[in-house]
Amino acid sequence: MGTGTRPTALVTGASSGLGECFARTLAATGYDLVLVARGRSSLERLGLELEQQHGTASEVMAADLADAAQLDGVAERLRTGDPVDVVVNNAGFGHYGRFVDLAVDGEAGQVTVNALAVLVLSHAALGAMVRRGSGSLLNVASIAGFAPTPHSATYSATKSFVIFLSEALHDEVAPRGVHVTVLCPGFTRTDFQQRAGVRTDRLPSFAWSDAQSVVDHGLAALERNQAVCVPGALNKITAASPRFAPRGLVRRISAQVMRRMES
């Protein structure tokens, strides 16, 4: 794919939520796209719409990143396919509730998609970018990754992994002309909460961000090669607080917030 004149961006989890917003925003700013998600039909509809609106050429890759073979197929596209200028590792999901009450397969699936897939695709993307001496990688984490979070134990642990990995990669590849940013949004109004089985009406409106704002902040931070991007003043305070508060207090506050979100 590719026109030869337009840059290309690959977005995982592109069929809905933040991923779809990333795809739409990148298309509007002149990128061709590689759209990755499990549902081919939704990706094809999005690709057709973006072609009609912006002249975007979209390559559709229907892939479940929890499946090793399908994950490797996306990685191989990054390693050996036409150059990809921007990679957005956005795919992920969460489960809320007491760890012992949740199905272990679902928790293991979070580790695979939220952490392992990010590692594999980051490795593939950066290998190609470092060889070229250019490129940008945006990994989507969460402010949940800054603190251990009872009732969201696995999710917060996977996002902590993404934050630490991305920060280290930022420093490794910056001298090679490659950008790496980790985006850490707070509560964002997408379909993520509905799929995770949480209530969106139990937190005040000021605690929520809209998807477009989060995407704009993330892409702007990536452009200037900012290592960590936490959009919003309240989220910045939330992300910084665990550094100074007693760990036990941090866990209790996190647990209270999560219990309010449970259906």
* 205 has a pLDDT exceeding 90: no
What are the residues whose beta carbons fall under 8 Å from the beta carbon of 70, sequence distance 6 or more?
63, 64
Under 8 Å between Cβ of 136 and 222: yes
Alpha helix ranges (H) inside the chain: 17-28, 40-54, 68-80, 104-110, 117-132, 153-173, 192-196, 211-223, 233-240, 247-261
pLDDT band for 231, please (50, 70, 90 cuts).
confident
| 231 CB-side CA count, 13 A | 27
- Which of the following is catalytic: 31, 155, 161, 192? 155
Q: At what angle do helices 153-173 and 117-132 cross, to 10 degrees?
A: 10
Average pLDDT over residues 76-92: 97
pLDDT band at 250 (very low <50, low <70, confident <90, very high): very low
Identify whether the C-beta of residue 261 lies closer than 8 Å to the C-beta of residue 202.
yes
**pLDDT one-digit tens code per residue, 14-53:** 999 999 999 999 999 999 999 999 999 999 999 999 999 9
What percent of the chain has pLDDT above 70? 78
Q: Whole-model pTM?
A: 0.86
Q: Which whole number is the average pLDDT over 249-260?
A: 55
Least confident piece of the model among 102-106, 139-143, 258-262: 258-262
204-227 mean pLDDT:
85
Name the CATH code of domain 8-261 (choices 1.10.460.10, 3.30.70.120, 3.90.950.20, 3.40.50.720).
Answer: 3.40.50.720
* pLDDT tens column, 124-165: 999 999 999 999 999 999 999 998 888 889 999 999 999 999
CB-count exposure of residue 80 (10 Å: 0-12, 13-18, 19+): exposed
Q: Is the pLDDT of residue 122 over 90?
A: yes
Q: How does 170-190 read in b/e, with b if 16+ C-beta sit within 10 Å?
A: beebeeeebbbbbbbbbbbeb
| Stretch among 59-73, 103-117, 237-251 having the lowest mean pLDDT | 237-251
* 155 annotated active-site: yes
Q: Hey, is 197 helix, strand or coil?
A: coil
Contact yes or no for 86/7 (Cβ under 8 A): yes
- Greater pLDDT, 168 or 196: 168
